[in-house]
Amino acid sequence: MALMGDFERVFEIGPVFRAEHSNTNRHLCEFTGLDMEMEIKEHYFEVLDVLADLLSHICIGLENEYKNELAVIKQQYPFEDFVCKTPVVKFHFKEGVQMLRDAGFEQGDLDDLSTETEKALGKIVKEKHGTDFYMLYGYPAAVRPFYTMLDPEDPNYTNSYDFFMRGEEITSGAQRIHNPAMLIERANHFGIPIHTIQDYVDSFKYGAPAHGGAGFGMERIVKFYCNLHNIRKSSLFPRDPKRIKP
């Protein structure tokens, strides 16, 4: 909505609260969110390139400026240095599935990747390209939210993307639908009552630029950069479905 007010790029850093029953080693109910949204001039890869540069900058900065702190972490939780090659490699979802099939994973008519196949693909990418960080784009429409822009050449897929560190997903993002009529059509397709998102739809009615972005959880980035077994080790006071204090 800020972009509709003629801001070309917006970002925020702040607490995020999620009431979801995710008892995993990479989910928290409270974390620090790093969110960015930007206008797209020609193609949604512009968003991928900006975010790739951001993550590369973070990784290189940690490596160059915080060697002593990383050495302290390694004393208790040994880990291999994180490798982030530039330019960051990106693959279409179909390419990722094909790489898994070539490696002996039978995916069938796959719509999405499981945690197991994500990790397997991460190992394949590391072996072929020597990097712990990569992007996968063009996910099937069936597994993306209603507001995700469809691929204009194949509506079964979308202008969406996931970023991966050490073979596990750290964020999902996409080009958003900025046309209110298309937004209503997609919401109806997913069975979402329009009155529940009316303010959101209305914000696009006076004209909206093509735009996209993503949101990162800081603790998850720390977890995968330092290859910690559990995200709770990257939070001072972790909050999850079973812990609210201290």
Q: Residue 69: give its domain's CATH number.
A: 3.30.930.10
The model's pLDDT over 172-189, given as tens digits with 9 standing for 90+, comes to 999 999 999 999 999 999
Residue 246 lies inside a defined structural domain of this protein = no
Residue 205 lies inside a defined structural domain of this protein = yes
Residue 115 lies inside a defined structural domain of this protein = yes
Q: What integer pLDDT is reported at residue 171 of this predicted model?
A: 93
Q: What integer pLDDT is reported at residue 244 of this predicted model?
A: 86
Residue 240 lies inside a defined structural domain of this protein = no
Residue 169 annotated among the catalytic residues of the structure: yes
Q: What is the reported pTM?
A: 0.91
Running along the chain, 246 residues long, what does each successive block of 10 average in pLDDT?
Answer: 90 92 91 96 97 93 94 96 94 93 73 85 96 96 95 96 95 96 96 96 92 96 96 94 88
Residue 220 annotated among the catalytic residues of the structure: yes
DSSP states of the chain: -TGGGT-SEEEEEEEEE------STT--SEEEEEEEEEE-SS-THHHHHHHHHHHHHHHHHHHHH-HHHHHHHHHHS--PPP---SSPEEEEHHHHHHHHHHTT---SS-SS--HHHHHHHHHHHHHHH--SEEEEE--BGGGS-TTBPEETTEEEEESEEEEEETTEEEEEEEEEP--HHHHHHHHHHTT--GGGGHHHHHTTTT----EEEEEEEHHHHHHHHTT-S-GGGG-SS--BTTB---
3-state secondary structure of 236: coil
Residue 48 · residue 71 · CB < 8 Å: no
Residue 208 lies inside a defined structural domain of this protein = yes
Q: What integer pLDDT is reported at residue 108 of this predicted model?
A: 56
Write down how long the chain is. 246
Whole-angstrom Cα distance, residue 86 to residue 89? 8
Residue 120 lies inside a defined structural domain of this protein = yes
Residue 34: name the closest of 67, 11, 5, 57 by CA. Answer: 11
Q: What integer pLDDT is reported at residue 131 of this predicted model?
A: 96
Of the listed 20, 106, 116, 153, which one is catalytic? 20
Which range marks the domain in which residue 41 is found? Answer: 3-234
Residue 243 annotated among the catalytic residues of the structure: no
Of the listed 18, 57, 101, 243, which one is catalytic? 18
Domains of the chain: total: 1
Radius of gyration of the chain (CA): 19
Residue 244 lies inside a defined structural domain of this protein = no
Of the listed 46, 63, 169, 203, which one is catalytic? 169
Q: What integer pLDDT is reported at residue 215 of this predicted model?
A: 94
Residue 18 annotated among the catalytic residues of the structure: yes
Contacts for 200 with CB less than 8 Å, ≥ 6 apart:
1, 183
The model's pLDDT over 80-124, given as tens digits with 9 standing for 90+, comes to 999 999 999 999 999 999 999 898 887 654 567 888 899 999 999
Residue 106 annotated among the catalytic residues of the structure: no
Q: What integer pLDDT is reported at residue 5 of this predicted model?
A: 86
Residue 172 annotated among the catalytic residues of the structure: yes
Residue 173 lies inside a defined structural domain of this protein = yes
